[in-house]
């Protein structure tokens, strides 16, 4: 497939880019600084742009089968980036979006969100609120989205062994490796199982 990838220079985006190319996909990496990609490949194309620029995001979309987004870094980029991406996709033929939020926006048995637990780290509240707003934008859209909600992303080898669960927090979810999270995203790209769903993941 031909995918547009936002966040290719990030902690999760880097292994996702490598795995996507290894799997035979064509990747347009939408990046602020192409020199940060550190990678040359015949199926990799760098598209310089800023996720906070709606016109730039819309211009990058045509010609792709799907969008993968591992945008992050600040609450503003999480929410505004999602806002511009969803708006651009709604006006285009590109319907499939696989994006990444965080485990805090998943509900527990009693429907309490993980982020509303008293034990939820105060330092994550702002970015978690941004992920929640991005999730609400997806729900309000008519796109075919999947929102991966990982706990802490860590290093480590690709194992392909991890737990996933739709629309519900996994008990004991502590970490997942960036390689395994990327593996899930690419599996979902080629064989969608969780369209219009949040997905919990953990090693
Ligand atoms: N890391 C974790 O433990 C963890 C856990 C749970 C959920 N998450 C979520 O998972 C997502 C990915 O996490 P991560 O650790 O891979 O994030 P990250 O390392 O901070 O990477 C963020 C990516 O977004 C790009 N970006 C930021 N602002 C941009 C802009 N204005 N325009 C275009 N690109 C922009 C960055 O590009 P530059 O190179 O230009 O900065 C980078 O490629 C985030 O939403 C994060 O909140 C992370």
d(CA 72, CA 159): 24
pLDDT band at 170 (very low <50, low <70, confident <90, very high): very high
Provide CB contacts within 8 A for 84, sequence distance 6+.
51, 52, 53, 54, 57, 58
Query: Please, which residues bridge with residue 16 across strands?
Result: none
CA of 121 to the centre of ligand 1 (A): 19
Picking from 165, 133, 138, 134, the residue whose alpha carbon sits closest to that of residue 151 is: 165
Choose the residue to mutate in 4, 30, 68, 70 for probing ligand 1, maximizing ligand atoms within 8 Å of C-beta: 70
> What's the pLDDT tens digit per position in 71-111?
999 999 999 999 999 999 998 999 999 999 999 999 998 89
Mean pLDDT of the chain: 97
- pTM exceeds 0.85, yes or no: yes
Q: Does the structure show a pLDDT above 90 at 114?
A: yes
CA of 175 to the centre of ligand 1 (A): 17
Name residues contacting ligand 1 (CB within 6 A): 6-13, 32-33, 36, 50-52, 70-73, 77-78, 100, 102, 127, 150, 152-153
Helix extents (H) in the chain: 13-22, 54-60, 75-90, 125-140, 178-190
pLDDT band at 116 (very low <50, low <70, confident <90, very high): very high
**pLDDT > 70 fraction of the chain, expressed in percent and rounded:** 100
Determine how many CB atoms are found less than 10 A away from the CB of residue 47.
Answer: 17
> What's the pLDDT tens digit per position in 120-169?
999 999 999 999 999 999 999 999 999 999 999 999 999 999 999 999 99
Structural domain spans, the chain: 2-202
Q: Does domain 2-202 have CATH number 3.90.1170.40?
A: no
CA of 130 to the centre of ligand 1 (A): 13
Residue 113 DSSP symbol: B
User: What average pLDDT does range 182-191 have in this prediction?
Assistant: 98
């Amino acid at each position: 497939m031909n995918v547009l990838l936002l966040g290719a220079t990030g902690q999760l985006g880097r292994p996702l880019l490598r795995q996507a190319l290894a799997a035979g996909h064509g990747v347009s990496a939408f990046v602020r600084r192409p020199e940060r990609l550190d990678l040359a490949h015949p199926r990799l194309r760098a598209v310089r742009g800023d996720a906070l620029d709606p016109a730039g995001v819309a211009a990058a979309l045509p010609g792709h089968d799907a969008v993968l987004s591992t945008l992050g870094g600040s609450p503003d980029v999480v929410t505004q980036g999602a806002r511009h991406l969803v708006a651009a996709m709604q006006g285009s033929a590109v319907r499939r979006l696989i994006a990444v939020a965080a485990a805090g926006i998943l509900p527990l048995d009693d429907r309490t969100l993980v982020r509303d637990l008293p034990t939820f780290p105060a330092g994550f509240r702002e970015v978690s609120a941004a992920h929640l707003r991005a999730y609400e934008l997806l729900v309000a859209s008519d796109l075919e989205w999947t929102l991966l909600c990982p706990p802490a992303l860590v290093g480590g080898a690709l194992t392909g062994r991890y737990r996933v669960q739709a629309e519900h927090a996994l008990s004991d979810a502590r970490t997942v490796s960036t390689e395994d999270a990327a593996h899930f995203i690419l599996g979902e790209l080629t064989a969608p199982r969780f369209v219009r769903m949040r997905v919990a993941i953990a090693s």
